[in-house]
Amino acid sequence: MVGTRWEDDRLKPVGLPASFSGRTARHLLGELRAVRSEVSKGRLPSEGASPNLSVVTRPLAIVFYEKLLPGTQVVNRLTDLGYRVTATQTAVDVPRLVRENRPMVVIADLALRHGDFCGIIGQLRASPDLAHVPVLGYCDSKNRKLVDAALEAGAKLVAAEQGIPDQLAQLLDHVLAVE
């Protein structure tokens, strides 16, 4: 087990590999103190103060949308919730972006003008290295056929387009819950 011990205000790594130097431990401790300070003040860690750690501590969401509303609202709300966001307006880019970036969640507008996002969800589910990424879809709540098709393709949850910006935090909690 890896641990730390405090002696004379110096950090002593316990059970760490030889390549893990005291300097590295002090650097990480400083980073963690900065994050803890920001969080205690009710703020997210600033990217300027701690670029490497903030990227690691902020989960990534990939958002696909064709319509600006609620697409841009979802992106803004995710940013407010502390997520890094990669947005695309091209559905065929989603599997590539998921493979390259390893996001925590994919959020997608299911109602495409041309094409079928349910097919994209099926591609994600068929790939062993991408199947674990949950998909939160949204569309007009009256389009029951699309809702059923998305759930059958493997979307974890499909929400009403009208409520997704306001209920995004709760929807993410549900989608990211470990079963």
What's the pTM value of the predicted model, to 2 decimals? 0.69
Quick one: pLDDT at residue 5?
A: 38
Quick one: pLDDT at residue 36?
A: 62
* Residue 87 pLDDT exceeds 70: yes
Residues 143 and 124 in one domain: yes
Range of the domain at 105: 59-176
Report how far residue 27's alpha carbon sits from residue 163's, in angstroms, rounded to the nearest whole number: 43
Contacts of 110 (CB under 8 A, 6+ apart): 117, 118, 137, 138, 139, 146, 147, 150, 155, 158
Position 5 in a domain? no
Residues 46 and 122 in one domain: no
> In this structure, what CATH number is given to the domain that contains residue 165?
3.40.50.2300
Position 133 in a domain? yes
Residues 46 and 64 in one domain: no
Residues 97 and 111 in one domain: yes
Residues 44 and 121 in one domain: no
Residues 68 and 48 in one domain: no
Position 11 in a domain? no
**Could you give the number of structural domains in the chain?**
2
Position 4 in a domain? no
Residues 79 and 39 in one domain: no
Residues 160 and 122 in one domain: yes
Mean pLDDT of the residues in the chain: 80
Residues 133 and 78 in one domain: yes
Question: What's the pLDDT tens digit per position in 6-21?
Answer: 444 444 444 444 444 4
* Residue 146 pLDDT exceeds 50: yes
Quick one: pLDDT at residue 161?
A: 92
Q: Which amino acid is at 15?
A: G
Is residue 164 packed enough to be buried (19+ CB in 10 Å), middle (13-18) or exposed (0-12)? buried
Quick one: pLDDT at residue 156?
A: 96
Quick one: pLDDT at residue 2?
A: 40
Could you tell me the CA-to-CA distances from 123 to 93, 112, 129 in Å, in that order? Answer: 12, 16, 11
Position 22 in a domain? yes
Report how far residue 122's alpha carbon sits from residue 154's, in angstroms, rounded to the nearest whole number: 7
pLDDT band at 153 (very low <50, low <70, confident <90, very high): very high
Residues 102 and 139 in one domain: yes
Report how far residue 173's alpha carbon sits from residue 154's, in angstroms, rounded to the nearest whole number: 18
Position 8 in a domain? no
Burial track 106-121 (b if 16+ CB lie within 10 A, e otherwise): bbbbbbbeeeebbebb
* Residue 125 pLDDT exceeds 80: yes
Question: What's the pLDDT tens digit per position in 42-56?
Answer: 665 544 444 444 555
* Residue 151 pLDDT exceeds 70: yes
